[in-house]
Amino acid sequence: MNFAVIRRRWRRIRLEGGRSRLTPANWSTVIMLVLLAAIFVLHIACIIILLTATIDNAWWIFTAGNMPTDIWARWIFVNNSWHSVDFPSTYPQSYLQAVQASSVLACIFSIIGIFVFVAQLFTLAKGQRFLISGVFQFFACLCIMIAASIYTDRFHTDEKSLGSYGHCFILAWVAFALTFLSSVIYFVLRKKTAE
């Protein structure tokens, strides 16, 4: 269903003054609008969670001294202010750069995906509409999964008793699940609109 057709039907429903003259065609239009709005909100939530997981400073929290570590620096609270310090020399720098690059790429792919989603609503034909957005979300899903997996496997393996994973690490895994769900919804929605 073309987006212009959905808009015309929605205007017709609104102009009827709220009377209950909804035909099955009108119901399908309303359902499609609600579905598109829900997908848009899910995509925005994925972007916010990905950005928070990438930017915020709590991938690992040391229990002694409340010293959070993120993928960019380690933070120490001294004289009522936070100061960043370099990572210890034991940190594998190549893996750290892979985590940083993967999490940034996940954010970029997801942001590009939302712009592509909006552009596809107005430009592509029925059946081709949500494929590119789904691919971008799937790439974002893979990138954040790679970042969180590398971080799980290579960092803090000998420090398990000294701290725990922070909220950004958990948000990275939540973002993985939500971006995967979003990409699957895009692919399923593409199939439904192709019929």
Q: Where are the domains of the chain?
A: 3-194
Pair 85, 76: CB distance under 8 Å: yes
CATH, domain range 3-194: 1.20.140.150
Torsion from C-alpha of 53, 59, 65, 66, nearest 10 degrees: 30
Structure tokens of 153?
A: 């496997």
Measured CA to CA, the distance from residue 165 to residue 60 in angstroms comes to: 4
pLDDT value for 15:
58
pLDDT (mean) for 159-178: 91
140-151 pLDDT, tens digit each: 999 999 999 999
pLDDT value for 99:
95
DSSP 86: P
pTM, full prediction: 0.81
Polymer length in residues for the chain: 195
DSSP letter string, 52-64: HHHHSS-SEEETT
What contacts 90, CB < 8 A, 6 or more positions away? none
pLDDT (mean) for 104-125: 91
Helix, strand or coil for residue 84? Answer: strand
Q: Is the model's pLDDT at 195 over the cut of 80?
A: no
pLDDT value for 24:
63
Q: Is the model's pLDDT at 18 over the cut of 60?
A: no
pLDDT value for 22:
59
pLDDT value for 147:
96
Measured CA to CA, the distance from residue 71 to residue 100 in angstroms comes to: 6
CA triple 112-115-116, angle to 5 deg: 85
Confidence of residue 164 (pLDDT cuts 50, 70, 90): confident
Residue 85's CB is within 10 A of a number of other CB atoms, namely: 12
Helix, strand or coil for residue 83? Answer: strand
